[in-house]
Structure 1
């Protein structure tokens, strides 16, 4: 299948084997993977003080009877101003994990969706001997200055990362660390050919092995 390509400042088309990414998009699995990622980012450090944790005396504020007021045990009661919080949030861990196979299927569906929507660009980014925001800006400008972009590279490249990190809503990921959330939330995907090959091996490995065993 032909997809967008970018090389030396010119935008064209290049043949890409999309078989490893399939054609079916599993939206429910996509949503589950995105929700899992967002839950795992929660710090869970919020804390409220209960009745036993609020500073104050345990002395009865006034006598029980013959005051015309409702009886009160202490000033730390939740119904009093400055009192404790009832059933308030406490520090907790929100993280959980989907099965590895489900995460692989979700990433495969996300990439297939980007290919179907024409939001995948196979790019030859060249060598980055030093950080250059000017060069990064030119790459984005040649591709239409997308509002969001996710640059997927084959191997970690500190110079390339430093070149793109100053642009808002532009992220840089290696093929090994790319997740479903990065693809879905990344806008246009700018990927190196080596990164696409690595992703094909990563998300399509099980299917390829099954095909070989059937043959």
Structure 2
């Protein structure tokens, strides 16, 4: 169980929150989180790179010149891989980079990664109502009140992304907005600081607390 201090919009400590998630054993934690990270990054690859072999390149059906008597090297096709404009030897072909990982392992890796981030995370009360209109300055000021450096990579986890919140944060280059239901290992590990609302913390406990 992890206990966290909860701050309000003004940056004052108002209460405490706790989260209990089943995480991987210490000796296996790095391995399982690394596997989940590699899987996520591999799954993001399109795998559409493709090159043509000598059988697929257009032309080259006729022998360029006779076998003997010209003084030149033997050639059977102008689309040989040795020729300019010819096919490619062992070139890339469309493929699927997806790596298999059990659902239980994926969820365990995600819980482990989130628990490791939560030790230094900032938990705040739901502040959606505080943003009456899109205003980037208000979000930057709030981060500073919460002792969060907006110049570092900040992951802001909420339950619902409102239009005002989205418009207020999208111009801050180092702040990424993420729904609690869309947690992923890469964003958790990539963030230098994590800010999570109490509602999002409850949602994470409901979804991943098995």
TM-score, normalised by the number of residues in structure 1: 0.83
Give the equivalent residue in structure 2 for 1:121.
122
Match of 2:174 among 154, 166, 169: 169
2: CA distance, partners of 1:171 / 1:21: 26
1:88 deviation in Å? 0.9
Contact 2:154–2:195 (CA<8 Å) still a contact in 1? yes
Distance 1:125-1:132 versus aligned 2 partners, 3 A rule: farther
Give the equivalent residue in structure 1 for 2:20.
19
1:57 deviation in Å? 3.4
Residues 101-155 of structure 1: CA distance to partner in whole angstroms, max 9, x if unpaired?
1111111111121134x2x110125113332212222233332224101111022
Runs of 4+ in 1 over 3 A off after TM superposition: 1-6, 11-14, 21-25
Give the equivalent residue in structure 2 for 1:212.
none
Distance 1:14-1:23 versus aligned 2 partners, 3 A rule: farther
1:67 aligns with 2:70: yes
Give the equivalent residue in structure 1 for 2:206.
201
Mapping 1:20-59, distance limit 5 Å: 20=21, 22=23, 24-25=25-26, 26-59=29-62
Mapping 1:39-188, distance limit 5 Å: 39-116=42-119, 118=120, 120-126=121-127, 127=129, 128-142=131-145, 143-188=148-193
Count of equivalent residues: 203
1:2 deviation in Å? 4.6
Give the equivalent residue in structure 2 for 1:7.
8
Structure 2: stretches of 5+ with no match in the other structure:
none
2: CA distance, partners of 1:12 / 1:62: 86
2: CA distance, partners of 1:95 / 1:129: 43
1:202 deviation in Å? 2.1
2: CA distance, partners of 1:192 / 1:6: 9
